[in-house]
Structure 1
C-alpha cells in the first residue's frame, strides 16, 4: 500500500468532516430524534388515556341507559296502575249512576202506574155511572152517590 499525501489529506479532511458533523450536525439530529421519541411516547400515553376514558364513558353510558330503562319501566308501571285505578273508579261511578238511573226509572214507573190507576179508576167510575144510568134509565146524582162511587173505585 502506498501512503501518499493525497491519502493523508483525505484522512485529515474526513476527520475534520467527522468532527464537524459530531459537533454541529449530530446534536440537532439527536435532539430532533429525542423530541420525536418523546412526542410519540406522549401520543401513546394520550391514546391509552383516551382508551381508558372511552371505556369509562361507555360504562357510564351503559349504566345511565339501564337506569333510564328502569325509570321508564317504573313510570310505565305507575301509569298502568293509575289507568287501572281510573278504570275501576269509572266502573264504580258508572254502576252508581246506573243504580240511580234504575231507581229513578223505577220511581217514574211507579208514579206512572199510580197515575194510570187513578185515571183508570176515574174512567171506571164514569163508565160505571154511565152504565148504571143507562140501566136505570134515569140520571144518577154523582154528589149523592159519591161515597158509593169512592168505595167502588177503591175496590177496583
Structure 2
C-alpha cells in the first residue's frame, strides 16, 4: 500500500504508465541538456581552477626554492662581510700598533736629541763660566801682584802673565 502510494502519488488509485514514461523522457532530456550546456562548461571551469591551483602551487614552490637560494646567498655574503670587517679591524690594529711604535721611537729620538743639546749647552756654559772665572782670577792676580810689586804692569807683561796663569790653571785642573 505504501508502495502504491509512493508510485501512484497521493490520491491516485491506479498506476499510470504514460505519466511514468513522460517523466522518464523529460528526466532524460533534462540530463542531456544539463550534460551538453551545464556539465561541460562546469567541468571546464573546474579543470581551469585545477590548473590554476596547480600553477600557483608550482609558483609557490619556485618562490620557496628561490627564497632558500637567496637566504643562502645572503648568509654567505654576511659571512664574507664579517670576515672582511675582521680583516679590516686586524689591519687597523696592526697599523695603529705600527703608528704607536713610530711615535714612541720619534719621541725617544727627540728626547735624546734634546738631552744631548742640553748637555752641550751645559758644557758650553760650564766652559764659559770657567773661562770667566779664570779671567777674574787673572785680573785679581794681576791686581794683587801689582799692589805687591807696587807698580803698574805694562800691557805686554799683563798679557804674558795672563797666559802663564791660564796655562797653570789649566794644568792644575
Match of 1:87 in 2: 100
Q: Which residue of 2 aligns with 1:103?
A: 116
2:42 to 20, 29, 33: 29
Aligned partner of 1:131 among 127, 139, 144: 144
Counterpart in 2 of 1:73? 86
Question: Whose RCO is larger (CA < 8 A, sep 6+)?
Answer: 1
How many Å apart are 1:75 and its aligned residue? 1.2
1:46 and 2:59 are equivalent in the alignment: yes
For residues 39-78 of structure 1, what are the alpha-carbon distances to aligned partners after superposition, in whole Å with 9 as ceiling and x for unaligned?
Answer: 1111111111111111111111111100111111111111
Equivalenced residue count is: 156
CA contact (8 A) 1:124 1:153 kept: no
Q: Which has the larger radius of gyration?
A: 2
Distance 1:130 1:10 in 2: 170
Structure 2 runs not aligned, ≥5 long: 1-6, 8-14
Measured against aligned partners, the alpha-carbon deviations of 1:2-25 in whole angstroms (never above 9, x if no partner) come to 134333322222211110000111
Q: Is the 8 A contact 2:142 2:158 kept in 1?
A: no
Q: Report the TM-score, using the length of structure 1 for normalisation.
A: 0.89
Most deviating of 91-100 and 109-118: 91-100
Q: What is the distance in 1 between the residues matched to 2:50 and 2:160? A: 133
Q: Choose the corresponding residue for 2:70, options 36, 43, 57.
A: 57
Structure 1 136/29 Cα, relative in aligned 2: closer, same or farther at 3 Å?
A: same
SS of residue paired to 1:139: coil
User: What RMSD in Å do the two structures reach over aligned CA positions?
Assistant: 1.8
